[in-house]
Amino acid sequence: MKTRITELFEIEHPIIQGGMHFVGFAELAAAVSSAGGLGIITGLTQRTPQDLADEIRRCREMTNRPFGVNLTFLPAVTPPDYPGYIRTIIEGGVKIVETAGNNPQKWLPALKEAGIKVIHKCTSVRHSLKAQSIGCDAVSVDGFECGGHPGEDDVPNFILLPRAAEELAIPFVASGGMADGRSLVAALSLGADGMNMGTRFIATKEAPVHDNVKQALLAASELDTRLVMRPLRNTERVLKNAAVERLIEKERTLGPKIKFEDILPEVAGVYPRIMTKGEMDAGAWSCGMVAGLIHDIPTVKELIDRTMSEAEQIIDRRLARFLHAA
C-alpha cells in the first residue's frame, strides 16, 4: 500500500508506532520497523543523551529498516538536555523524529539541516496548521479517543480527521482508536495517509512491558478509561485503577483549588513501577479507548500483517461490493 506517508518515511506499510513512555524501547521499535511499519524509540525514557545513543545503536543492530525517535517538549523547572538529545539523534544517523508537546520550532533548523523528517503530534486543526507553517513534514492528528493527552477540545476522529484533510497540505496520520485494518481503512477514507497506533502495540509479544500491563489491556473495555487532570488543563486519558480513582476523588474534593502538587503521588515517577514491575495500581498511566478492541497479544509482525490483510480485503471486497452492486 503506497501513501504519502509510506513515501515520506520510506516504509512498506502506513503504520506508525507512536512514542510511549517506558514502552518505546529498541525491542518494540525494531519489531515494528522490521514488519514494515515505522518504529519509534521514546527519547525521554532514556535518562541521558548517552543512554539514547546506546538505545539507537541497539535498535540499529536489530533492524536495517527506518526507525525514528520521539522527543516530547514539555515545560519543566529543570528541563531535559534537549540540545544533547537532538545532537545524539543527528549523530546517530536517525532520519525521522516524532515531536510532541510544545511547539518544536526552536529545534527544527538543526533537524532539517541534518536531513531529518519531522512528524509532530497535534490534537487540533489549528495546531496542525501551525506545525505545517513552521516546516514539519507531517503531523499525527490525535482524536479525543487517544490515550495520553487528547487536548482540551474533545473532538473525536470522525470530525477531526476530515477537518484536517480540508485544511492541511502536508500528509497526516490518524491517531486515537486505531487498532486494526478497519481502523486503517477508516483513517484513509477520512483523508489520512496512514495511522499511528500506541496502546495497541503495548499488547504485543515484543512490547518490553510487564505481562500485567498486557493482561490489563486484554481485560479492559472501551468503558474503562478515565480523563484526569482536566482542572489543570493538562487532560490525560488513562486506564482506571485504584490510583486513578484516588486522583479523581482529589479533583472532586479540591475543585478549582487543586494544584499539580496535590496529585504527585498518583502521577510522578509511576511509569517504571507500572511498565517494568507490573504494579498496576501504582499510578495513572496513558491508555486509549482502543483497549476495547484489543482481544489478543500477537507478535508485532502478526499484528501488522493481519492489519494490512484486513484492510486490503475491506477495500477490495467489502467496499467494492457496495460500489458495484446491481
Kindly report, residue by residue over 113-137, the tens digit of the pLDDT: 999 999 999 999 999 999 999 999 9
- pLDDT value at position 37? 98
Kindly report, residue by residue over 241-268, the tens digit of the pLDDT: 999 999 999 999 999 999 999 999 999 9
Percent of the chain residues topping a pLDDT of 70: 99
Q: What is the 3-state secondary structure (H, E, C) of the chain?
A: CCCHHHHHHCCCCCEEECCCCCCCCHHHHHHHHHCCCEEEEEHHHCCCHHHHHHHHHHHHHHCCCCEEEEEEECCCCCCCCHHHHHHHHHHCCCCEEEEEECCCHHHHHHHHHCCCEEEEEECCHHHHHHHHHCCCCEEEEECCCCCECCCCCCCCHHHHHHHHHHHCCCCEEEECCCCCHHHHHHHHHCCCCCEEECHHHHCCCCCCCCHHHHHHHHHCCCCCEEEECHHHCCCEEEECCHHHHHHHHHHHHHHHHCCHHHHHHHHCCCHHHHHHCCCCCCCCCECCHHHHHCCCCCCHHHHHHHHHHHHHHHHHHHHHHHHCCC
Q: Which domains does the chain have, with CATH numbers?
A: 4-208 (3.20.20.70)
Kindly report, residue by residue over 35-73, the tens digit of the pLDDT: 999 999 999 999 999 999 999 999 999 999 999 999 999
Report residue 229's pLDDT band, with 50, 70 and 90 as the boundaries: very high
What is the pTM for the complete model shown? 0.96
